[in-house]
Structure 1
Amino acid sequence: MNKILHKATTRGDANHGWLHSKHTFSFANYHNPERMNFGVLRVLNDDIVSGNMGFSTHPHKDMEIISIPLEGDLKHKDNMGNETVIKCGDIQVMSAGTGIMHSEYNNNPDQAVKFLQIWVFPNKKNVTPRYDQITLDVADRKNKMQQIVSPNVGDAGVWIHQDAWFNMTNLEKAKELTYHLNDSKRNGVYVFVLKGDVTVNNQSLNSRDGLGVWDTNHLNIKADSDTELLLMEVPMS
């Protein structure tokens, strides 16, 4: 088993006033040649956007983009005709493919919105751009894994153009889980702690820490406090 630990305090920190973003991997003005990606996981941004502020219309190409709201409401608009609001419990995905234009704004005037912005390199380029959004029951991840992303149309969660599986779980203190990889020969798992304290394969983690693990077929997870986790299983090449 191989692993890499990214403590929360070592992330890139970009504070633009209206936007405060923590970058696990190199992004925009934060560049660290040793923190470019974990396999095909290219971007993991932990964003806070002030009320009535947001990202004006901008392009993307050949990237699978997943947004996970944690608090508040985020308004999305794109050139495919989609105009939606995503909130906690929703999962949004865009396959940028040949190219898309979109904007994202905090839908509330007096409350910050917090969300994760995740980019994954696709296994197919120049696909037809695509948008999808689903609402999940957060209660279904209590002390068990809830799949939110997969490579398979019709599977639980949203699907993307990559052999990747994302799961979320809310574990009560002292609860334990084992995560078995879908493809242990090709994939690794990046664990991101949303809240609380947890031990993963004997590695202690705290809120907003990240741990990448590969060359293993499973992860042993024990909650040291009430905790919320995001697990991203992705190809390592």
Structure 2
Amino acid sequence: MSSANRFDGKVVIVTGSSAGIGRASILRFGKEGASVVVHGQSKEKLESVKQDLLKAGVPESRILVIAGSLEDESVHDRLIDETIKKFGRLDILINNAAIPGKPGIDSNSMEGYDAIMNINVRVVYRLCQLATPHLEKTKGSIVNITSDLSERPMPRTMPYSISKAALNHLTRNFARLLAEKGIRVNAVGAGLTETDFITRMGMPKEVIDHIMTDVIKTIPLQRASNADEQAEMIVNIASPTNTYMIHL
């Protein structure tokens, strides 16, 4: 099986795939033969991703777009139900969507904590549960996108670091639980990546620049990654040719 067609006949959901790492990932999956489910909240960004997929040669019959906030459980249900209705199967779930906080809310407040933990942990838990019966049929794969911040404190937005630490252990538990069903579960700990995600934390530009400079000094390659580099790792881990890797 060549890398060009390793996802032929496979169906992939990527949450938060209208921008950043999610967008780069969904484009790679589509180019390599998968039917793709694109998710996000901005209809403009979703349409842009769809047009990029079409330009890359992915036919409209292999594209499903789901718009909506993951704060709404009915969106979780639609992601799974409409995928099965259109494509008849599910092979890969990429839990990429996450929030660093909510505009106008102190991330370290209880309101901020609840909002972050809901999207970054609870939603992932529920989507894994909803997807499991379908992934069992296809001996599929789940990849959760976590962060190196799970291992370091982040005083300006403590719940984000906490949520990613929780997501790591969530992944370990689902990996152990679902291995007997033939479902692989892994996590990709995305390091510092050049996307607009960090700007959504609402920090002043000078603070962001300072953080970028300080963190880059700790990276052996002395630079941040880009979304395509993270997508390459995600796609390779999710690949049906990768038959033995689970996160424990």
What is the TM-score when the length of structure 1 is the normalising length? 0.32
Report which of the two has the higher share of strand.
1
Report which of the two has the higher share of helix.
2
